[in-house]
Structures are given as structure tokens and as C-alpha cells.
């Protein structure tokens, strides 16, 4: 699917006109948000200068429903967390072995050459062709998604959100909808996976789509101090512009499970650990130095780029995650800025299975109805380019491989 950026310019111009007319205190509001972000940037820089990571951490065995208020507040402020020791090393080593066997026995590499160009979501970001495998249904991926360990982790993380209003739940924090994503197996020395800072889950629709603007109603009007990134109201009703690799599910967190040791310099994840950075980005696009029919370079159907030209303040807080080990997991809020280091300078592979959190709600159940037939046929997840590698792969997971929990998560 190809989206012509020009077709959206009139809608962008009209949306910006309406928003500027609606926000009577736009200069003061942007100044207040800038001060709010600047304070957090300075906190993060001071943390790094002290040799510490600003990314919150917690051990899987320590997850409790009570008595962790200070940590929970820090996660809500930073918008990310490393949950350590979710899986034992022996389990991860076995999954790595099975994944490589699955890739090699099904001749993935020669088939990938034939299908290059189908997936161009990151075309404006990548330094080269990403070393991300278009695989969704290997047994290690499916086993990890339906594991009791991740179910427990995601229940705890989901409950950091506000999900109940007037007795009604926006989503069920205790039940997941399984979202099939891919795997990364990045070899030492690789320079092809670099992804510049960006945000997923929608670009220009945050400004031009009325249902999406409701998510940021406190940013675009009313009391700015009332804006909370972990407020879920209206998020399950937001409508994205259809495009390959634009997630149609509501994710409380993007995330991955570490399949190898990796840290700063190993070609791994970098974050701007500021949960409310999106509020500043939304107001930044309404400033006078941005053309009336542009949104700081945002383009429909692509990742939302974060650039030196418009977002230099935020990039001062772009930092690597701490070193993680096989079985650790990394989670970040869907509005959090993230990217991937250009070069894996480490001595080993930088491998992950992408698994986020997508709690049960109508929006996510609707997607499951599309995803189940893809699973059964071995086709690519319907959110991604239709590469369909696994249709004739031997050893892929089948419905009989699902546990009772896995079947619920897949919507059976």
C-alpha cells in the first residue's frame, strides 16, 4: 500500500487551523510543556552523568500488587521498565536453538531475498535493510507469547494504567489478546538495522483524526496538568490510517524479550524515557516555524520521526537501555520515543522476540478475528507486509500447540 503524502496536506492544514483556534493559550501552553520536559531531560542527563540508567528496573520475582508505589510512579513518569529474569536462561537457550533450526531448515534466507521491498514501513528511518525476520509463528514465539510468566508480567504492567471510569472498563488488564510480531537476530558487526528515533502507532492521525485527538484532549484544550499518558480513555477508539506495519491493536506497551545479552553499543534499543514527550511533540507541530500543511515531517503510514530540526530538546534525553540478559524483558509506553543503534559493536548476537502487551478490549478482539486465519494458514500477521514466508514452513506452531491460556489470548 502506498500513501501519497500530498493527499493529506489539506486535512493537515484544516486540522491545524481548528486546533490553533481552539487553543487560546497556545504560546503559554507550549512554554509550560517545554519547562515540564526540560526538567525531565535534566534529570535524565544527571542520572547518566552519575553512571546510572534512568530506565526503571524490577525483578520478575518481586512483582507485587501492593507496596511498589514508588517504582510504579517512576515507571509512569519514565514510560518504560526492564523486568528481569522473566524466563530462565536454559529456556531461552533452547528457544534460540529452535529458532535457528526453524530458519535454516526452511531456507528462510534465500526466500527473504526474493521478497525484499514488500516491507517498507521503516524506509525513512533505516540505515540499511533491518535484520528483522518476517516470522510470526515459530514455536518459540508462540510459546513465549502464551507463557504464564508473560501473562503475569503484563497483568502487573497493565494495572499501571487507569482503565476504569464510572464503573466501566476501557480494557481488561488481566486478559491479553496475543499480538503476533517478529524476531530480531542481529549479528556482531551489523550496521544495517539502525533505526532513528521514532514513535509507532500512528503519525498524522494524532492531529487530524477526531477520535485520536480525544486521547490528547487535555493537551489540545482544558487543563494541561490533567494530561496523563497512562489514561486509557478513548485510546481503544482511536482510528489509525491503514498501512502495513502500523499496529491496529491498542497496546499498553511495546516490548521485547531478550534472547541474548545486549547493552549500550551492542546495536540495541535506545529510548527517550519521558512518558509525556508526545504532548510536547503535539504542541511543537502547531508552532509558527512549521508550515501550515506539515506536522514536523510526519507522514501517513510511516513511523513518526523525531528529528534534530524540530525535536532537539527531546533528543538530549535519547539514552540506551541498560545491559539486559537472556530472559529479561523490556517494555515501553506506545507514545515513548525509541530507536535502534546503527552498529552492533558487540562480540555476540543481539537477539530479541518482539512481544508487547495488548489487553482485552473490543478493538483488540476485532483484530484477533483477522489474525486467527493468518495463524492457521501460516501467513504474515495482517498488520505487516504480506510476505507469508511460513505458509509452507515445517515445524511452525499450529492451533494444537496452544495452551488453554494461549487459546484465550488468540480469541478462540
pLDDT at 130: 41
HEC-encoded secondary structure of 66-113: CCCHHHHHHHHHHCEEEEECCCCHHHHHHHHHHHHHHHHHCCHHHHHH
- Which burial class, exposed, middle or buried, applies to 217 when counting CB atoms under 10 A from its CB (0-12, 13-18, 19+)? middle
Q: Per-residue pLDDT tens, the chain, 412 aa: give them.
A: 457 778 999 999 999 999 999 999 999 999 999 999 999 999 999 999 999 999 999 999 999 988 899 999 999 999 999 999 999 999 999 999 999 999 999 998 888 777 665 555 444 444 344 478 999 999 999 999 999 999 999 999 999 999 999 999 999 999 999 999 999 888 878 777 778 999 998 899 999 999 999 999 999 998 999 999 999 999 999 998 887 657 899 999 999 999 999 999 988 899 999 999 999 999 999 999 999 999 999 999 888 999 999 999 999 999 999 999 999 999 999 999 999 888 888 787 789 999 999 999 999 999 999 999 999 999 999 998 899 999 999 999 999 999 999 999 999 9
Q: What phi and psi values does residue 173 have, to the nearest 5 degrees?
A: -70, -15
Q: Where are the beta strands (DSSP E) in 239-357?
A: 254-258, 269-272, 304-305, 319-320, 329-332, 337-340, 350-354
Element (H, E) at 151: helix 148-158
pLDDT at 2: 57
pLDDT at 392: 96
Specify whether the CB–CB gap between 412 and 151 falls below 8 A.
no
Question: 172 is in which domain, residue-wise?
Answer: 5-410
Terminal Cα distance for the chain, rounded: 30
Give the number of residues written for the chain: 412
Q: Can you give the CATH number for the domain in which 90 is found?
A: 2.60.120.330
- Point out which residues pair with 360 in neighbouring strands: 172
The pairs formed by 307-312 with CB atoms below 8 angstroms and a separation of 24 or more are 310/284, 310/285, 311/197, 311/281, 311/284
The CA distances from residue 97 to 139, 180, 348, in Å, are: 11, 20, 15
Q: Give the other-Cβ count within 10 Å of 62's Cβ.
A: 12
pLDDT at 190: 78
pLDDT at 117: 57
pTM of the model: 0.94
Q: Give the other-Cβ count within 10 Å of 31's Cβ.
A: 12
The CA distances from residue 352 to 158, 267, 347, 356, in Å, are: 22, 12, 16, 12
Q: Where are the beta strands (DSSP E) in 244-286?
A: 254-258, 269-272
Largest CA distance in the chain: 62
Q: Which of 185, 194, 195 is nearest to 132 (CA)?
A: 185
The CA distances from residue 183 to 200, 259, 281, 392, in Å, are: 17, 10, 30, 19
Residue 280 and residue 305: Cα distance in Å, rounded?
14
- Chain mean position to CA 337: 9
**Number of compact structural domains in the chain:** 1
CB under 8 Å to 84, separation ≥6 — which residues? Answer: 57, 58, 59, 60, 324, 325, 327, 328, 329
Helices 277-284 and 26-49 cross at an angle (nearest 10°) of 140
Amino acid at each position: 500500500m502506498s500513501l501519497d503524502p500530498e493527499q493529506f496536506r489539506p486535512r493537515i492544514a484544516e486540522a491545524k487551523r481548528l486546533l490553533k483556534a481552539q487553543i487560546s493559550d497556545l504560546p503559554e501552553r507550549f512554554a509550560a510543556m517545554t519547562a515540564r520536559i526540560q526538567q525531565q531531560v535534566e534529570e535524565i542527563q544527571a542520572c547518566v552523568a552519575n553512571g546510572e540508567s534512568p530506565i526503571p528496573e524490577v525483578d520478575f520475582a518481586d512483582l507485587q500488587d501492593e507496596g511498589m508505589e514508588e517504582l510504579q510512579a517512576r515507571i509512569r513518569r519514565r514510560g518504560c521498565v526492564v523486568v528481569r529474569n522473566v524466563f530462565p536462561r536454559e529456556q531461552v537457550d533452547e528457544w534460540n536453538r529452535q529458532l535457528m533450526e526453524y530458519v535454516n531448515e526452511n531456507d528462510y534466507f534465500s526466500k527473504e531475498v526474493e521478497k525484499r521491498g514488500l516491507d517498507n514501513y521503516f524506509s525513512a528511518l533505516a540505515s540499511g535493510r533491518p535484520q528483522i525476520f518476517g516470522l510470526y509463528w515459530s514455536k518459540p514465539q508462540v510459546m513465549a507469547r502464551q507463557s504464564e510468566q508473560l501473562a503475569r508480567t503484563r497483568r502487573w504492567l497493565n494495572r499501571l494504567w487507569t482503565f476504569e471510569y464510572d464503573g466501566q472498563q476501557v480494557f481488561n488488564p488481566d486478559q491479553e489478546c496475543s499480538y503476533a510480531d517478529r524476531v530480531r537476530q542481529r549479528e556482531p558487526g551489523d550496521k544495517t538495522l539502525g533505526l532513528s528515533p521514532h514513535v509507532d502507532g500512528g503519525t498524522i492521525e494524532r492531529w487530524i483524526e477526531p477520535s485520536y485527538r480525544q486521547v490528547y484532549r487535555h493537551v489540545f484544550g482544558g487543563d494541561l496538568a490533567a494530561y496523563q499518558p497512562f489514561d486509557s480513555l478513548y485510546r481503544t477508539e482511536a482510528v489509525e490510517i491503514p498501512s502495513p506495519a502500523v499496529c491496529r491493536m491498542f497496546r499498553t506497551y511495546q516490548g521485547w524479550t531478550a534472547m541474548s545479552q545486549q547493552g549500550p553499543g551492542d546495536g540495541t534499543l535506545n529510548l527517550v524515557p519521558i512518558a509525556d514527550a508526545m504532548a510536547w511533540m503535539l504542541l511543537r507541530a502547531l508552532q509558527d516555524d512549521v508550515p501550515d500543511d506539515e506536522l514536523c515531517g510526519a507522514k501517513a503510514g510511516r513511523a513518526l520521526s523525531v528529528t534534530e530540526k524540530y525535536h532537539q530538546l527531546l533528543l538530549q534525553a535519547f539514552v540506551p537501555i541498560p545491559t539486559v540478559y537472556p530472559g529479561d524483558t523490556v517494555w515501553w509506553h506506545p507514545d515513548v520515543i525509541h530507536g535502534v543503534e546503527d552498529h552492533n559493536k558487540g562480540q555476540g548476537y543481539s537477539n530479541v522476540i518482539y512481544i508487547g502487551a495488548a489487553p482485552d478490549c473490543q478493538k483488540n478482539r476485532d483484530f484477533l478475528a483477522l489474525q486467527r486465519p493468518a495463524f492457521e494458514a501460516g501467513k504474515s500477521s495482517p498488520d505487516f507486509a504480506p510476505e507469508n514466508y511460513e505458509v509452507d514452513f515445517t515445524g511452525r506452531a499450529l492451533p494444537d500447540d496452544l495452551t488453554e491460556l494461549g487459546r484465550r489470548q488468540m480469541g478462540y
